[in-house]
Structures are given as structure tokens and as C-alpha cells.
Copies of this chain bind each other. A is one copy, B any other.
Amino acid sequence: MIINVGIIGATGHTGEVLIELLLNHPNVRITHLFNSGKSGQDNQVISDVFPKFKHRLELVCTKPDWLKIKKDCDLVFLALPHTVSMKFVPKLLNLGKRVIDLSADYRLNNPSVYEKFYKVVHQDKTSLKEAVYGLPELYRAKIKTAKLLANPGCYPTSIILGLAPLLALNLADLSSIIIDAKSGVSGAGKKLEKEFLFSEIQGDFRAYKVNIHQHAPEINQVLSKIAGKKVDVVFVPHLLPIERGILSTIYLKKAPGAKFKAKNITDLFKKFYKNEPFIRIKAEGVFPRIKDVVKTNFCDIGVKDFGDTIIVISAIDNLLKGASAQAVQNMNIMYKIPEITGLL
């Protein structure tokens, strides 16, 4: 089987990583690369934008071209900034194309929450209703038939996977969840801002958007669905002086009277994820590190029960399981290809 794929937003950081993955995917033909369509953008050979693609891919990246999309694409990836994707989605769905959107535009069910955190009115509430949240470990069945897939954020992926077993089994005091997350710089894309200069990042470490990050509502929305009750976490992201990787350290209290049906909490996690190809639970008392997941689609999780408090630590590559590789995993599910294809 060959899927004909187009990418809109191919010159950004997520686009770059996505191209790399799709070049290695045996069931994919990249038919077209498009920029975001902003006026002033020129046609560019992709290997001039990213010299590492020389000898591997020489497609020209042009403005989005509806005729080409109609004719040559089964599936379109949107690797666009937030608030830009929603300009393309309605027309793509109209043309009968399946869409995987890597932005935040279709992740939040409630447009007013979106508007609060992204500071812009949502322009496509119709498609929003049919978007499927693309976390395979929780929503694989729905993903299979999705027309519009909202690929999860990087922090939410690492955090939801770390908490899902506890919330699904009613073991957590929902009012107690504190998430101290740390991300490499690539999470911010390649923004040309002073704070992302080498001289600012190297040797430094700091928190940012303390308890006001735009991923908090996404985390709360999904955790609330799993728990069946409103969840409102404390969430503090920090910036690591590395390129790739997120490690989330999660603290929570046990639900009053919580009883584990397992010899320990690690076993409970192992059972919950026992058929998942990309979740690896560390042995009891062992916690994950970023190095083991960088350049992979794995989410490594360690968990330990300290009596009152449970500590969960999860690690992913923010650009892969937290973005482009999870998008490919979703594509595999949507097209009934073995889920690990092109990802191991």
C-alpha cells in the first residue's frame, strides 16, 4: 500500500522532522511540499532549506496548491503554527482528504478555552466537532476512522500517558496533581528570539509560563475525560539546555481508600499498557531518562508509591512521540498499516 502524502508547512521544525520520518516509511510517497502560504514566501527546493536532505529529497516547496492536493494527495499533514491550520482544514475536508493537524487548533473541544489561551477566535467550529484527539494509547478505535486528526501537544502526551492508569482506575486524589515538566529547546520551534540564543540557553535553566501554559487546558480536558470528573492540575514547565526531550515529574496523593489490584504500582502500569508498542514501564524503583527516548517514538515511564504520595516520571522525545512520530503512528492506524511501521 502506498499513501500519497502532502505536507503544508514543510519548512518549519516539525515539518523537517516529519519529512525525515516519511522518507524512511515504506508505505509513503511524499507527493508535494507546501509552505504556509504567507505572502512573500518564495518557492524553495527543500534541500536548500535543509541541506541535510541533499541527495535524499529535492522537491520544490511552493505555496499551497489546491489542484495538486486534489489530484495527488490522499492525506495532508499540517505542520503549521497554531491559528494557521484552521484556515486550511475546512477546504481539505471538503476535497475529501484526510488531515493530520500537528497544531493546537483542533485539540480543545471548547472554543472559548481555545480563545482564552491562544488569543484568537476559533474560525472553524464545525470541523472542531469531528476532530479526533490522536493519542493512540487511549483513542485507537476512533483514530482508525478519523477524517480530521488533532495530534496531541508534547507536554500533554508525556503527562497524560503518565497519569492515565491512575485516573482510569480511580486511584488518584484529583485535587492533588502537581506536574513539574522540563523540555528541550526544540519545543519552541526555531523562533528567532533573544531568549533562544545559544548564549542565553547554554548553562542556564529556568521555569517559564509558571502555571499559565497553554497546554494546561489540553491536559485538564483529557484527564477529566479519563477520570470522569473535573481535573485541574498545577503545571510548571521549565526550559532545559538540550535540543530534544521532555521529562515530566508528576506528584499526586492517593485517592482516599485507594486499593491497588497489583503487587505494586509498577505492575499496575505494566498491565495497563501491556499491548502498547511504544510505552515502556521501568522496573520498580527505576526512573526514565531523556537519553533513552531521544530519536525514538517511545514513552518511558517510572512510578513509585511513597505511602501518601505517588511519583510518576515520564520521558519522550518532544519532536517524535510529542509531535511528528506520533503523527506517523496515527497515520499508520488510520490506514491500517502495522502501527510500528517506519517508527522502530
Known: A207-B313, A251-B178. A192 touches B190 (CB 8 A): no
Q: Which residues of B sit under 8 angstroms from A54, Cβ to Cβ?
A: 280, 298
Complex Cα–Cα for A54 and B244 (A): 20
| A47 to chain B: closest residue by CB | B280
Q: Fill in one digit per residue for A297-327: 1 if any B CB lies within 8 Å of its CB, else 0.
A: 0101000101001010100000000000000
Complex Cα–Cα for A172 and B250 (A): 21
**A85 an interface residue at 8 Å Cβ cutoff?**
no
**A294 an interface residue at 8 Å Cβ cutoff?**
yes
Complex Cα–Cα for A22 and B30 (A): 25
- Residue pair B197, A293 in contact (C-beta under 8 Å): no
**A37 an interface residue at 8 Å Cβ cutoff?**
no
Stretch of A90-98, A100-108, A282-290 that contacts chain B: A282-290
**A242 an interface residue at 8 Å Cβ cutoff?**
yes
- Residue pair A344, B56 in contact (C-beta under 8 Å): yes
**A332 an interface residue at 8 Å Cβ cutoff?**
no
A131 to chain B, nearest CB (A): 30
Known: A294-B203, A344-B23. A241 touches B241 (CB 8 A): yes
- Residue pair B185, A199 in contact (C-beta under 8 Å): yes
Residue among B185, B247, B280 making CB contact with A198, cutoff 8 Å: B185
| A188 to chain B: closest residue by CB | B199
- Residue pair B190, A194 in contact (C-beta under 8 Å): yes
- Residue pair A199, B243 in contact (C-beta under 8 Å): yes
User: In A182-196, which residues have CB < 8 Å from any B CB?
Assistant: 182, 185-186, 190, 192-194, 196
Q: Fill in one digit per residue for A232-252: 1 if any B CB lies within 8 Å of its CB, else 0.
A: 001010101111110101010
Residue among B194, B202, B207, B211 making CB contact with A202, cutoff 8 Å: B202
User: In A165-217, which residues have CB < 8 Å from any B CB?
Assistant: 178, 180, 182, 185-186, 190, 192-194, 196-207, 210-211
Residue among B13, B185, B289 making CB contact with A204, cutoff 8 Å: B289
| A211 to chain B: closest residue by CB | B306
Residue among B249, B300, B344 making CB contact with A236, cutoff 8 Å: B249
**A296 an interface residue at 8 Å Cβ cutoff?**
yes
- Residue pair B292, A52 in contact (C-beta under 8 Å): yes
Given contact pairs A54-B298, A192-B192, A202-B241, a sample of 6 additional A-B residue pairs in the complex whose CB atoms are under 8 Å apart: A182-B182, A198-B202, A204-B245, A206-B247, A206-B291, A210-B304
- Which residues does A use to contact B, with CB under 8 Å? 13, 23-24, 51-52, 54-56, 178, 180, 182, 185-186, 190, 192-194, 196-207, 210-211, 234, 236, 238, 240-245, 247, 249, 251, 277-278, 280, 287-296, 298, 300, 304, 306, 309, 311, 313, 344
The 12 listed contacts between A and B (C-beta, < 8 Å) are: A51-B292, A52-B291, A52-B296, A182-B238, A192-B192, A192-B194, A203-B290, A206-B290, A210-B287, A210-B313, A241-B241, A295-B295
